[in-house]
Structure 1
Amino acid sequence: GDFSFSFIVPKDISYKNGFGKISFYANDSANDALGYNDTILVGGTAINPIYDDEGPDISLYINTLDFRDGGVTNESPTLIAYVSDSSGINTVGNGIGHDITAVLDGNSAEAIVLNEFYESDLDSYQNGKVTYYFNDLTEGFHTLTFKVWDVMNNSSEQDISFEVVKSSDFVVENVFNYPNPFSESTNFYFDHNQAEEELSVSLEIYDIMGRTVRKFEQTLYPDGYRSGPIVWDGKTVGGAILPPGIYPYKVIIKLTDGSMVQKSNKLVIVR
């Protein structure tokens, strides 16, 4: 058969004329075919080149896609970065400083080059994912700056922060509900550093007089460092609709070894 395709030549090439190579592969239910052509002359600049002055889009996470900036993790977090660009992602880094990089705590002298950790989406040169595993990070707050380039030499950066807590210490942070305020229903979440550990969770919601209006007890088996949602419809256990107002709530989380953390917050019901 006859085939045709188009592609974008990156700016990071040698502008001297030379021969490039195109490899081919085809198959049907019975046969495979392959070959190449190394007589394709490459060089110079297009008469009407594509105009692109915007860097790639970045979505940055730690461990899981529900990570919230400033959340907690253990000593070995996973960086997850989804990137996309209409012209394509530069994964070769031929130009000086055009690598995909991560800089931890502003230490640019030890930037981590992530080119080999990029995996493009199936049949796409415009979208992909970077996954990188850290090991033995020190306790405390860390910041990470992620940088990526497209093939037109435009770059983008995004920052994310997180707190490393020893997995031997049970820590719970960022207890919150969303939406807040709410009228119909809300979802409760919390961050912790005990992924894949059984958690016994007790959630108690009070009125401003301190009377319990609803209580939940659940056993969770988190695969990441954020647990939830625990969904509440704003009603008592008997189904009565609660009036508008401020409602404090308390979350108690226990591990199987008896370790326990208690956190409190407030929510607002609007009608």
Structure 2
Amino acid sequence: MDLFRLQDLPVELQRSILEVTARMDLKTALNLSLVCHQLHEWIQPLIYEMVTLGRGDVALFLRTMAMFPADFFVRYVKRLCLTVSVRPHDARTILQTCTGVSNLACWVDFMGISPASPFRHLFYPLPLRRLSIEVGHFRQLGFSECVWTGSLTCLDIVFWDQGPLVLSELRFLPSLARLSLYLSQSDVDEPSLLSILSATPTLQILVLVVEEDDLDRFEHTTRIDPRIVCMPHPPTVPDWEAPHRGLPDLWSHAEEIVDERRRAANQMQTQE
């Protein structure tokens, strides 16, 4: 039996297969980029499509940024996760360079240093479709200056501390379809949830992310509106990276729940 060889396929198909493989695992992508010049050209941009940084790897990424033309990171970094351990000064440099980011998780504590580091302008030019950010920082964004208010469809709000759920700023996001609230408080009042739902008429799913022990306590909120889903905290960084890896995440699970509710409701209407 003849052996199948990848190089016997058309070049376009070879590239597609290798790109899918590279996106599934960073280590594999790095190894593939070292095989030959052609693979290096194909794979290297994919390595930077999704960048996740903590304190331990920021220095290496900053050194890498200094070695490449600035437009490389504008063109290729599309998903960026800056964890809470990233220093505001480093986050500023990265956000000023990676201005093509469409999916951004920025959990950097700009407001926790003294004096507070101005940060709003870093978000203004980004072509965002998804944003994950702490609630206090979210409220400080200058929405009238942001170019992405009309394109943002997915928003994750993280509550580091207990606080009110009033989010009047949602009115600036006319295309918002998905909203998750990573809660720290032990209870949520119905008026706040109704206020959020009324402020976002395009919203399709509202996920309340709570501690697993609190799921039963929050279950009553799902009776307010079928779009509300309660879910336990996922592993934060792996969940953020999952869609890029072709894996299920919090949102895919929430969609399944809402879709099942709609099917059940339609079935009941048909029976009536």
- State whether TM-score is above 0.5: no
Higher relative contact order (CA 8 A, sep 6+): 1
Q: Return the TM-score normalized by structure 2.
A: 0.25
Q: Return the TM-score normalized by structure 1.
A: 0.25
Higher strand proportion: 1
Higher helix proportion: 2
Which of the pair has more CA radius of gyration?
A: 1
